[in-house]
Structure 1
Amino acid sequence: MPASPVRVVTFGEIMLRLSTPGFSRFLQTDRFDAVYGGGEANVAASLAQFGLDAAFLSKLPSHEIGQAAVNHLRRFGVDTGLIVRGGDRVGIYFLETGASQRPSKVVYDRANAAVTTLEPAEIDPDAIFKNASWFHWTGITPALGEKPRATLAKLLEAAQRAGCTVSCDLNFRKKLWTTDQAQAVMRPLMEHVDVCIANEEDAEKSLGIKPDDTDVTAGHLDEAGYGRLAQTLKDQFSFSTVAITLRESHSASRNGWSALMLDDKDCSTPTRSRVYDIQLVDRVGGGDSFAAGLIYGLNTLATTREALEFAVAASCMKQTIPGDFNILSADEVLKLAGGDASGRVDR
């Protein structure tokens, strides 16, 4: 495959994921399935599957577990040349997959991971964005500590100098920091962001903007309320694009999935995508696959409405795939986005 003219750099943490087999609980399992994943790494892997030039920046130990994480990224076509080697450990997260009315659970063991020691002096930000056109990060990265937070700030300044489009998935994580801490850090960083991706909790916890008259536990969504939320975000922070993922949690096994987007082009009024009814296999990474799909669509498709539909289709299909990474080609996603949702055997 020839090199893509679109080069995307992502920055964050990749962790070892240990999940209970099937739907077993932590307290009953005697083994775990091991893969690697993490917000920005998931985005890079998905973009590489779609055919874009995707690079992941992080810090990983030089021992075998760190190398295994690097190898996992390479397996799926991600450029790992920006990864700094050092530190002592790879962060871990444990996943128990829920079913029906029992929710999934995540337990983190990520304190003092190598990426939390990454300092601005260890990178050359202008070199990182040479030939790059897009930079993606999430709210998870600045929540990891002062050093990755300072590194992110340096990267954002360099991305701006290089003329890169910057996207941010707000991704609030209450196990990493408080609402007050998140807002103190995230609100100033928004001045560097062009494309903001969020759900209703992210917008409220990270930026202090609450959607009105919405209840994600009610089984239905107030589309107009989310449209007003998108408009408020766009107006307050001067984003070029706001995309809000909409999950209707009927149970831990069945979700409605769609998104709403507002921009200055084909979605100049809040525009909602097609709604998918998903029988979940693995919802982890669903938001990351949406972000990757949106980045791909905004860079390659004719209209921003097409980009929205591509992103929702990509994230819908990802939630039928075990693991963090979205192992789909662009053609497979385009088929679903074009209306073929039959699920018939492809032969």
Structure 2
Amino acid sequence: MSKVVTLGEIMLRLSPSDKNRFVQADSFDVVYGGGEANVAVSLANYGHNAYFVSKLPKHEIGQSAVNSLRKFGVNTEFIVRGGERVGIYYLEHGASMRPSKVIYDRADSAIALAKADEFDWDAIFQDAKWFHFSGITPAISKQGAEITKQACIAAKKHGVTVSVDLNYRKKLWTPEQAQAVMKDLMQYVDVCIGNEEDAELTLGFKPGGDVTKGELDHKGYERIFEQMQKEFGFKYVVTTLRESHSASDNGWSALIYNGNEFYYSKKYEIRIVDRVGGGDSFSAGLIHGLLTKPTQGEALEFAVAASALKHTIFGDYNLVDEKEVETLAKGDGSGRVQR
């Protein structure tokens, strides 16, 4: 399998048990996660040599974050140690018509204050095949944006394929700030992943439809995919197609475009256990698919099946292996007991 590098922030996640509200909580469940860390865990589970690059404090909470990655086979040798804080986010799980809620406490985290020259980019990208980042990392700070750009430059120097999950976060920056940074980074990107909101707010492309009403305008996506590919020269443009019937039930499918043809995946109707990390599991599944499958359609079907399974797993990480994903992708979604 391939060496794949991801760069970003891993955070401490605190959430009330079951589906309780914050005001009901007397204690919190603890897990670790973050966009690119989640991708690395998935890729390690599929057998890749997955590296996660970040900066974390030397204290026990920082070490616990590192340990959570090592537990699932992620290589952590290029995590710089130092700084004072591990970023925190609080998650209240939604149910039915009540949406999930996230509260961030991540200002001045170790990676947000890190500097690009703390990382040995040549060593990081030696023999690498793929580099993945998201729009969250450049949003956390000016230093985060510079680190992301230097990583992209180094990746292209080493001939590495680069993918991005646009991942707009309105609590971190404005659309104007996002577009000023993200449009510049697109010159290094081969595979662009993003949903309808991400494409509009980070790059200025708006599809049709209203996902809050369960509506999707497929022709609208095709138009903006063609525009995005023409403007930035992406090899692939990809989006998940989430139909939010409620916080508990979603329709889930995806679309990919390689500059010549569009491919729509099959659609899954999913009952959600934990949707956080769903997009990250899709990105990881797509990376694995594009590295190992002969067609973009097969790659996309693997990614959609992987992310459908993630929605059934508590925590940020998608704890499934390749065989489980392949079983679902081939049509067995019965959920029958495996003996």
- Which category describes the TM-score, using the shorter chain as reference length? over 0.9
Map 1:1-347 onto structure 2 (within 5 A). 4=1, 6-211=2-207, 213-264=208-259, 268-347=260-339
**Equivalent residue of 1:293, what SS?**
helix
Whether the 8 Å CA contact 1:258–1:276 is kept in 2: the answer is yes
Distance 1:32 1:43 in 2: 24
Q: Distance in 2 between matches of 1:261 and 1:301?
A: 14
Paired letter, 1:330? E
Partners of 1:288 and 1:236 in 2: CA distance: 25
* 1:344 positional shift: 1.0
Task: Provide the TM-score with structure 1 as the length reference.
Answer: 0.97
AA aligned to 1:14 is I
Query: What one-letter code is carried by the residue in structure 1 that aligns with 2:231?
Result: Q
- Give the drift of 1:201: 0.2
| Contact 1:129–1:159 under 8 Å retained in 2 | yes
Tell me, yes or no, if the aligned pair for 1:195 and 1:242 is still in contact at 8 Å. yes
Query: What is the rounded CA distance, in whole Å, between the counterparts of 1:252 and 1:149 in structure 2?
Result: 32
The structural deviation recorded for 1:220 is: 2.7
| C-alpha RMSD of matched pairs (Å) | 0.8
C-alpha distance in structure 2 between counterparts of 1:241 and 1:104, whole Å: 31
Please, what TM-score do these two structures have when normalized by structure 2? Answer: 0.99
Equivalent pairs, count: 339
Is the 1:230–1:270 contact (alpha carbons within 8 Å) kept by the matching residues of 2?
A: no
CA distance in 2, matches of 1:135, 1:290: 15
- Does structure 2 conserve the Cα–Cα contact (< 8 Å) formed by 1:170 and 1:202? yes
**More off after superposition, 302-311 vs 32-41:** 302-311
Specify the SS of the correspondent of 1:112. Answer: coil
Shift of 1:124: 1.5
In structure 2, distance between residues paired with 1:178 and 1:304: 33
Tell me if the contact between 1:230 and 1:244 (Cα under 8 Å) persists in the aligned partners.
no
**Letter aligned with residue 219 of structure 1:** G
Q: In 2, Cα distance between the equivalents of 1:29 and 1:122?
A: 39
Inter-partner Cα distance in structure 1 for 2:190 and 2:44: 22
- Cα deviations across residues 49-82 of structure 1 (Å, max 9, x unaligned)? 0111100000000000000000000001000001
Q: Distance in 1 between matches of 2:161 and 2:112?
A: 25
Q: Which runs of 5+ in 2 are unaligned?
A: none
Instruction: Give the 3-state SS of the residue equivalent to 1:294 in structure 2.
Output: helix
SS of corresponding position for 1:141:
helix
Which runs of 5 or more structure 1 residues have no equivalent in the other structure?
A: none
